[in-house]
Amino acid sequence: MTTTPPAVLTVSTPADLLPLVPHLIGYQPMDAVVVMCLNGSLVGMCMVLGSDIDPEYVTPADIDRAVVALTKSEPTAAFVLCYETITGGSAGLAHRVAEALRVKGLDLTDRLVITPTAWRHAACSCCPSEGNPLPSEESAAAQTYRKVKGTAPAASRAALRARFTPTPRAAEVERTCAALQGEGTPTAHAGIIAWGSILGSETPVADLPASTLATAALSLAHGTLRDTLVMALCPGLASALGLGGRNAPEPTGNPWNGAEPTPRDLTRALDRVVAVCADLPDAHVAQPLATLAAACWWHGHSALGSIAAERALLADSSCRLAQLVHTALGSRSPAHVCGRGSLSRSRGRESIGQTVIKL
């Protein structure tokens, strides 16, 4: 397979960095605290606290669990980004998180306060009281990230969750599933063809036949096919599990025509699986959601993966893969750091040092 060298982004100011945050976590944070860890020269784990709930309801135990999970990767420093729509709304949580990180001996490289229109350094006396205006357009780094990865962050975590809302088409797919089950579970081979159509086709998921979606969902009852799909969506996973050199459990055509999938290919594939899940009835959505959650875990898309795993368990609380991924994401165990970088300790008003992110 051909290998594409990673693109490299360099950011050196908050105006460069902040437009990238929604791309890294999958949505625009609002009343929340985002911690971006650094492992020496590596940009490491990103963690969000307070999203979907009032930041003041984040308990000390919640913070302790988060900090323990963060420090397992032995970071050397961190950014604390305090997002608020009401002045001071997230300040208390940001302070508690910062203090918990300091207790663990972590160097806080910077602490920023971000409103819908401006940003400022939390401990800076030279920033204007109204803050520094946020860029009216995405930074060049964010534009490059979007181009290379094909990401389109949701407007909020609630909007990200809404992507899984069942569509009216789910009823049609449910009837098709019932008809197929009357003839027995679709074979793994039929599932390979169905998933190949989903991942490799240019046809919008909404325009694919209901029989394709029903076959794709039902065929994941074959564990080997599910494993094959997970490996297709997670390049490098087999090697990480010590399975390097082995063939996929089920022989299948590569949906990327034999080439190594690009980051944009993989983003598109995950987006199409999300669309499939929204078109499936609750009775048959658990395995596709669990497969999606596993792929999100591998790629570091913890917000999307957590939502997928939670919905999978609502549909089928016994789904083992969903249980495993939910546990991993619940403890914020990362499969990948979100980037790599070198960071200087410059603390000038306009500088956060130089951070390099490989895509």
Which residue stretches of the chain are H helix? 14-17, 21-25, 60-71, 91-103, 140-149, 157-162, 170-181, 188-200, 210-219, 223-233, 237-240, 263-278, 286-299, 302-315, 320-330
Alpha-carbon distance 316 to 330, whole Å? Answer: 18
Please check the confidence at residue 244 and state whether its pLDDT lies above 60: no
Q: Give the pLDDT confidence of 91-139 residue by residue, as tens digits.
A: 888 889 999 998 888 888 788 999 999 998 887 777 777 788 888 788 8
Alpha-carbon distance 351 to 15, whole Å? Answer: 9
Alpha-carbon distance 275 to 154, whole Å? Answer: 14
Report, as an integer, the average pLDDT of 324-328.
89
Q: Give the pLDDT confidence of 158-209 residue by residue, as tens digits.
A: 999 999 999 999 999 999 999 999 999 999 999 999 999 999 889 999 999 9
- Which residue, among 156, 212, 207, has the nearest Cα to 180 in the 3D structure? 212
Q: Give the pLDDT confidence of 200-216 residue by residue, as tens digits.
A: 889 999 999 999 999 99
The secondary element (H helix, E strand) that includes residue 118 is strand 118-121
Packing angle of the helix pair 140-149, 263-278 (nearest 10 deg): 70
In the chain, the N- to C-terminal Cα span, in Å, equals 19
Please indicate whether residue 340 or residue 314 has the higher confidence score (pLDDT): 314
* Number of Cβ atoms within 10 Å of the Cβ of 34: 26
Please give the pLDDT value at position 126.
73
User: Rounded to 5 degrees, what are φ and ψ at 208?
Assistant: -75, 150
Neighbouring C-alpha atoms within 13 Å toward the C-beta of 169 = 17
* Number of Cβ atoms within 10 Å of the Cβ of 235: 16
Question: Which residues are CB-neighbours of 234 under 8 A, at least 6 positions away?
Answer: 294, 295, 298, 299
Please give the pLDDT value at position 179.
97
Alpha-carbon distance 29 to 22, whole Å? Answer: 7
- What are the residues facing 103 on neighbouring strands? none
Per-domain residue ranges of the chain: 8-159+336-358, 166-330
Alpha-carbon distance 87 to 90, whole Å? Answer: 8
- Which residue, among 165, 167, 34, 174, has the nearest Cα to 90 in the 3D structure? 34
Structure tokens at 63: 């913070």
Q: What one-character-per-residue DSSP string does 262-293 give?
A: PHHHHHHHHHHHHHHHHTS-GGG-HHHHHHHH
- The yes or no reply on domain 8-159+336-358 and CATH 1.10.287 is no
Please give the pLDDT value at position 307.
93
- Say which DSSP state 27 is in: B
Rg (CA), the chain: 21
Please check the confidence at residue 344 and state whether its pLDDT lies above 60: no
Please check the confidence at residue 343 and state whether its pLDDT lies above 90: no
Please check the confidence at residue 251 and state whether its pLDDT lies above 60: no
Q: What one-character-per-residue DSSP string does 42-99 give?
A: EEEEEEEESTTS-GGG--HHHHHHHHHHHHTT--SEEEEEEE-SSTTTTHHHHHHHHH
- Say which DSSP state 302 is in: H
